[in-house]
Amino acid sequence: MMIKALYIHIPFCLAKCKYCDFNSYPLPVFKGRVDEYLGALKKELLMLSKEIPLGGIETIYMGGGTPTILDTGQLLNFMKCLKEIVDFSNVDEITIEANPGTITQEKLLALNNVGFNRISIGVQSLDDNLLKHMGRAHNAEEAVAAVTLARETGWSNINVDLIYGLPNQSNAIWMDTLKKVIDLGPDHISAYGLKIEDNTPWSSDYYNNLLALPEEDSVLEMYETLQAILGDNGYFQYEISNYCKPKKASKHNTVYWHNNYYLGIGSGAASFYNNQRFYNIKNTGQYLDCLSQGLRPIGELLELAQEEQISETMFMNLRLLSGIKIVDFKKRFGISPIDKYYNEIKKLSEMELLDVNEDTIKLTHKGIPLANLVFMEFV
């Protein structure tokens, strides 16, 4: 299998959100080293291009962090370097993640002109109280302005990221956000339930009983609200947390869900190639030091046995509502998923969590919100 997707990690943000455990830092921490970081990315990609064929790349995703915190010149220069190293002949989706407060008309026009054709905007909520509590660096009005500006500057594939299950969030507040987002007409909506991650300000608040999280039933109600409102407004749910207008599914994330090969560059980025999963050094300072010495910045390398790949492919494919294509699975692993997991699949079908026919295995409507229970059977 060829590498199909390239991920580029930009670990800088305006400020650190209180729930965030991504590998990101407020920009002032690395202010003097941003160009060095971009140079290191280029160096890493060049090193990889000598070992790994990059001609099969179909999607590129610049994520973070907040890539649009970089100035226009830095972004354009980086894209130029990318085009010198990567064969773009098969690339048809190039996404950049953006946050309100880091985009201008000039930047959006330039990015679109240079080849980025999809933008993913971190809106998260359109309730000012919630945004403030989350530590987001923008308010609702600025988030609306960011999505509107992206559309006005010609972006034809816009994703909006949302979070539900937030402290003090009611279903009514969530519904209000959803309706306002729909009015903005994004092509794609990713909506994730909040997870309290360790080593974040919200995890300390949680353990000190300072976080008024909604009950499990309320979170489920929000998930059902999401499915209903988006469904009624022409969005097709194609993955547990992702909805799109026709033909606007994320090609990049679909590579992950199909458990195909991808390459990640930048501090903390993950890659999967040649039956190996490797993770770059997470600490950005150490990542830079490593590349300055001409070394590959690998922090951890795992050889994945066939068994592990089968298990991962099962639950990654099941995230997609189209499910597992039995013929593709058999072609890849030489065994039918039904033969491999006969008892598990039988049990989950009897519980009405999986729908199985001769071509596919997929989550049922009842199984979608209980997907984690289903996945545990294949781990």
Minimum CB distance to ligand SF4, residue 267 (Å): 13
Q: Are 319 and 239 in contact (CB under 8 A)?
A: yes
Asked if 66 interacts with ligand SF4 (CB under 6 A), we say yes
Q: Is 99 in the site for ligand SF4 (CB under 6 A)?
A: yes
CB of 120 to ligand SF4, least distance (A): 11
**Quick one: 140 exposed, middle or buried, by C-beta within 10 A (0-12, 13-18, 19+)?**
buried
Its sign, for the CA torsion 178, 180, 185, 187, is negative
Question: In the complex with ligand SF4, which residue's Cβ is closer, 9 or 325?
Answer: 9
Going residue by residue from 112 to 141, which x/- string records binding to ligand SF4, judged by CB under 6 A? ----------x-------------------
Angle at 357 between CA 351 and CA 359, to 5 degrees: 140
Q: For residue 356, how far is the Cα from the chain centroid?
A: 28
Our CB check for ligand SF4 shows the closer of 63 and 323 to be 63
Residue 147: phi and psi, rounded to 5, are -65, -40
User: Does 267 help bind ligand SF4 (rule: CB under 6 A)?
Assistant: no
Q: Contact region for ligand SF4 (CB under 6 A) — 19-27, 111-119, 232-240, 291-299?
A: 19-27
Given candidates 5, 57, 64, 288, which one binds ligand SF4 under the rule CB under 6 A? 64
Residue 68, interface with ligand SF4 (CB under 6 A)? no
Report CA torsion sign: 284, 289, 292, 298. negative
Spatial distance between the Cα atoms of 284 and 272, rounded to a whole number of angstroms: 21
Q: Say if CB 59 and CB 5 are below 8 A apart.
A: yes
| Residue with smaller CB distance to ligand SF4, 13 or 219 | 13
Q: Which is nearer to ligand SF4, 192 or 333 (CB)?
A: 192
Give the largest CA-CA distance in the chain: 59
Under the binding rule (CB under 6 A), the answer on residue 22 touching ligand SF4 is yes
Closest CA to 119 of 186, 185, 182, 34: 186
Q: Residue 67 and residue 69: Cα distance in Å, rounded?
A: 5
Taking the least distance from each CB to ligand SF4, the nearer of 14 and 370 is 14
Question: Which of the stretches 9-17, 76-84, 235-243, 333-341 binds ligand SF4 when contact is defined by CB under 6 A?
Answer: 9-17
Q: Which is nearer to ligand SF4, 17 or 374 (CB)?
A: 17
Q: Which is nearer to ligand SF4, 22 or 333 (CB)?
A: 22
Q: Rounded to the nearest whole angstrom, what is the least distance from the CB of residue 131 to ligand SF4 in the complex? A: 11
**Least separation in angstroms between CB 266 and ligand SF4:** 13
Scored b (16 or more CB within 10 A) or e, 320-342 reads: beebbbbeebeebeeeebbebbe
Q: Which residues contact 197 (CB under 8 A, 6 or more apart)?
A: 19, 20, 21, 203
**Comparison of 145 and 304: residue with beta carbon closer to ligand SF4:** 145
Between the alpha carbon of residue 87 and those of residues 38, 57, 81, 204, the distances in Å are 19, 8, 11, 46
Beta bridge partners of 60: 6, 94
131 or 356: whose CB is closer to ligand SF4? 131
Minimum distance from residue 12 beta carbon to ligand SF4 (Å): 8
CA–CA dist 8, 266 (Å, integer): 6
Residue placing its CB nearer to ligand SF4 in the complex, 22 or 88: 22
| Interaction residues for ligand SF4, span 284-303 (CB under 6 A) | none
Give the C-alpha separation, 65 to 99, whole Å. 9
Part of the chain binding ligand SF4 (CB under 6 A), chosen from 11-19, 191-199, 216-224, 347-355: 11-19
In the complex, the smallest distance separating the C-beta of residue 14 from ligand SF4, rounded to whole angstroms, is: 7
Interface region with ligand SF4, contact rule CB under 6 A, candidates 62-70, 203-211, 222-230, 269-277: 62-70
Helix (H, G, I), strand (E, B) or coil at 156: coil
* Residue of 5, 6, 8, 24 interacting with ligand SF4 (CB under 6 A): 24
Among the listed residues 8, 13, 123, 194, the single contact to ligand SF4 using CB under 6 A: 13
At which residue do the structure tokens 């593709």 appear? Answer: 328
Q: Point out which residues bind ligand SF4 (CB under 6 A).
A: 13, 16-17, 20, 22, 24, 64-66, 99, 122
